[in-house]
Structure 1
Amino acid sequence: MNLEQIKYRTCPNDDEDGILLVDLDEDMPATDEDGDLQYYCPGCHSTFSSDEDDD
């Protein structure tokens, strides 16, 4: 998994950059119940999921 390619994702709410959520105690990024990566948007203060099909 290349972190540089998945570090940011466009937020569907405001088109700002969402930042990949990571737990510092874990080896893998946070995922939702479907296994999709979780992102936080500092612009609208929301979390959202993204999968590989969203590119």
Structure 2
Amino acid sequence: MSETDIEVFLAAGYGTKQVLEVILGTSQKVLSNYTNHEVDAPFVKFAWAKDTVAEIAA
């Protein structure tokens, strides 16, 4: 994010608090996506599948 980007953002009526909220929200989303990508594999065996439910019900 450049200084110009911040100036345009502030000129649009937002404050420095909103700049930090955007940065925090973006970083939280990136960390969440990365964590989900890295941790997803061990939980694949627990994924729901229609065939599995049919076998249990039978």
Larger Rg: 2
Between structures 1 and 2, the one with greater helix share: 2
TM-score, normalization by structure 1: 0.21
Between structures 1 and 2, the one with greater strand share: 1
TM-score, normalization by structure 2: 0.21
